A and B are shown apart, each in its own frame.
Chain A
Amino acid sequence: MSAPMAAPAEPERGRPRSETRPPSGGWRIVAAKELADHLGSTRFVVLFVVLGLAGASAVYSVSQQITSVASGVGTTESLFPLLFTLSASDIAAATQQAANTPLPSFVALISLLAPLLGIAFGFDAVNRERSDRTLPRLLAQPIYRDDVINGKFAAGLAAIGTALGAVLLIIAAWGVIQLGVVPTAEDVARLAVWYVVAIVYIGFWLALATLCSVVMRRAASSALVAISAWLVVSLFGGLLISTVVGLLSPLSSTPTTAEVIANGHLQDALTRISPDGMFQIATQAILDPHVTAGILTIDQRVAVAQQGAPGSILSLDQSLLVVGPQVLAIVALSVVCFALAYIAFMRQEVRA
């Protein structure tokens, strides 16, 4: 009984299998298939249209008024990014007119909707394979197990990048026509950097949704949890933070410097764990060379105050330096979230 067991095993060990070993990169095959699925899916078309319409209406309302008030909103040398960062009400405020369209700016809209993009491409990544019963069949093919989740994540990012990039390019081109202003190289660079940061930020939501899809067996519960997280962070995040800050580090009626600093530090610490807050800071700093004090951390505000008057124009590398911590924190959050999804998937039993 024991002889035939050992016999086939021994020669196998020494057998060179290098020529039959599959090349690494099973994730590419998975990603290619997933991306094709995404790009052909209804949800991609719907999100693309929603994103495009939101962006277009924001930019349209701004471009209607921006030329007339360009002098009123600052130096005109970087008018182009203003197309994306200004809202109609900003302009109305600047020109002391009543805002007829209470529409937020393009980037504000995008940062509000971006999580939806990440959730849409991730919430059923793994549990759909389970409910369709394709997972055992997929894992029985000669690919590594992590190829599945890596490929799906990569495909999700690629789909998001495609949607966001296309919307951004279309809107920018249209804006150029409307505005009649050709963007400078730095304008383009700022937009490109913002695009990359936005992808990383959406990657966080994609990773979160993927985590939900691994942990939750039903796509509906996974989507609900991911969307709840999005609502809490996006809509109530700021409110929650200011409530907690007000409770823990209240300012007296005549606040001392120490109080303000302590209050600011707490606010910053809490904002730093809020991906939404960090992305907004990063967005403003990257796209808007006029560093407005309101968006920075207390330490950064102090640094800016020491370096020069607020409102001075920062070059792109200076802007990046200023928001480096926020960008890094977004990257770290995305990585942590994906790592959790990865580990959960690798440890899961194959059978449902």
Chain B
Amino acid sequence: MAIEPSLPAEGGRDATIEPVIEARNLTKRYGVHVAVDDLSFEVRPGEVFGLLGPNGAGKTTTVLMLLGLTEPTSGEARVVGVDPMRDPLEVKRHVGYMPDTVGFYDGLSARENLAYTGRLNRVPNAVAATRITDLLAQVGLSEVAGEKVDTFSRGMRQRLGVADALLKDPSVLILDEPTASLDPEGVVELLALIERIAKERRIAVLLSSHLLDQVQAICQRVGIFYRGRLIAEGSVRDLASEVSRTQDVVEVGAEEADGRPAGIEIVTASLRGAAGVASVTPDATAPGHVLVTGAPGIAGGLTMALASAGLRLTHLRAREERLDAIYARLVHAAAEAPSEPAGVRQSSVTPAPRRSIRRAPGPAGRRRPERTRDDRDDHDAGARR
């Protein structure tokens, strides 16, 4: 049950590999409005980096600056070692980009749309033809290769967008809101596709999203972006443990001494009085269970509280916080924080950009032994190489 204090987590970020995307103090102002404020991060080959934040946080602006399509007000970027402002064509030759709500020429077929991209990239026609066939097969669009794109669903367009971005055989893939407005099934399909491609081709993937819960599964690292500022950066689990140091959420189920399920009211009343408990609410996802929120380490006291009320514990599970909850809390904290001078970050949550949160003092020691290792952890560990 117990999680290892530390995983070989640095695998995805081997410091000896040069980063293919580097942003250093990128700032973009539109008049008085600061779209991106002093942003620094980097992505290495083979790594999937998630740039997460609500709409209007500056994600698309950041992506456009990395592509040289928008000029930063200050700061600089390096993509495949090239300054996108100085040599945008060199950058665009190596970066596959899928814009948010990617569009295609409706009057052309899927194959013709890709062929145009191939010509614009000066891929020889014969090479492009085989590449297009392969890519369409990879994204599952072989059947409709000759059909006009205006008959395509959103999910098909997004997948075609991935094929389009890969056509130039890029070393960096930038996907802007790839899962936005897809149905749940489409999201799963597309993310699996992106993950597979990132693994097979070992290319760096920068993916931006406001749907944190969706993309956390395939991102080795995420940066949380709010009002143009990176307010936290690290692996999903690190962020979760970092935040949960201040708060625990525990699922509790109990029964009467004679084996009958205990009423919610009785359980709630008995837990309310336990030390450190802040709130007790019914668990919407599991009837009969309650969610207890409180200071770290409350779980131990809960058994005692139940026992003293004559109840028996049937279920106790520390809930792994979903990223969107973490994100909501971080964003909430950032919104409430008084405006700080640029460059000063909330040190309690955000270490210096190049340092992993994992290296922040003491997260392992504070992790409680009863925390279950859930699927997400397995997945996360598997994604690291």
> Which A residues are within 8 Å of any B CB, using their own CB?
1, 4-5, 7-9, 11-12, 17, 20-23, 26, 29-30, 32-33, 37, 40-41, 132-134, 136-144, 349-351
B326 contacts A by Cβ under 8 Å = no
**What separation, in Å, do the CA atoms of A351 and B97 have in the docked complex?**
14
Give 7 closest A-B pairs by Cβ, nearest first: A133-B103, A141-B120, A136-B99, A140-B97, A8-B81, A142-B93, A142-B92
In the bound complex, do residue A1 and residue B353 qualify as a contact, i.e. CB atoms below 8 Å apart? Answer: yes
> Which B residues are within 8 Å of any A CB, using their own CB?
18-19, 22, 24, 40, 42, 60-61, 64, 67, 69-70, 76, 78, 81-83, 87, 89-90, 92-93, 95, 97-99, 101-107, 116-117, 119-122, 161, 164, 168, 352-354
In the bound complex, do residue B99 and residue A144 qualify as a contact, i.e. CB atoms below 8 Å apart? Answer: no
In the bound complex, do residue B89 and residue A142 qualify as a contact, i.e. CB atoms below 8 Å apart? Answer: yes
Task: List 12 additional A-B contacts (Cβ < 8 Å) besides A8-B18, A32-B119, A136-B99.
Answer: A1-B353, A8-B19, A8-B78, A22-B89, A132-B103, A133-B101, A133-B102, A133-B103, A141-B117, A350-B69, A350-B70, A351-B61
Chain A's closest residue to B119 (CB) is A29
Q: A137-B97, A137-B103, A141-B120 are in contact. Are A4 and B69 (CB under 8 A)?
A: no
**What separation, in Å, do the CA atoms of A281 and B248 have in the docked complex?**
85
Closest CB in chain B relative to A4 CB, distance in Å: 7
Q: A22-B89, A22-B93 are in contact. Are A138 and B81 (CB under 8 A)?
A: no
In the bound complex, do residue B104 and residue A132 qualify as a contact, i.e. CB atoms below 8 Å apart? Answer: yes
For B121, give its contact among A21, A33, A41, A141 (CB under 8 Å).
Answer: A141
Q: A9-B81, A140-B69 are in contact. Are A134 and B103 (CB under 8 A)?
A: yes
CB neighbours (8 Å) of B83 from chain A are 9
Which residue among B61, B120, B354 has the maximum number of chain A CB atoms within 10 Å of its CB? B120
CB neighbours (8 Å) of A41 from chain B are 107
**What separation, in Å, do the CA atoms of A142 and B69 have in the docked complex?**
11
In the bound complex, do residue B70 and residue A349 qualify as a contact, i.e. CB atoms below 8 Å apart? Answer: yes
Q: A133-B102, A134-B103, A140-B67 are in contact. Are A1 and B116 (CB under 8 A)?
A: no
**What separation, in Å, do the CA atoms of A7 and B95 have in the docked complex?**
20
Chain B's closest residue to A9 (CB) is B78
Which residue among A29, A132, A133, A142 has the maximum number of chain B CB atoms within 10 Å of its CB? A142
Chain A's closest residue to B120 (CB) is A141
Which residue among B103, B161, B164, B352 has the maximum number of chain A CB atoms within 10 Å of its CB? B103
CB neighbours (8 Å) of B22 from chain A are 4-5, 8
Closest CB in chain B relative to A155 CB, distance in Å: 13
**What separation, in Å, do the CA atoms of A305 and B78 have in the docked complex?**
71
In the bound complex, do residue B120 and residue A26 qualify as a contact, i.e. CB atoms below 8 Å apart? Answer: yes
For A12, give its contact among B82, B99, B117, B121 (CB under 8 Å).
Answer: B82
Chain B's closest residue to A138 (CB) is B120
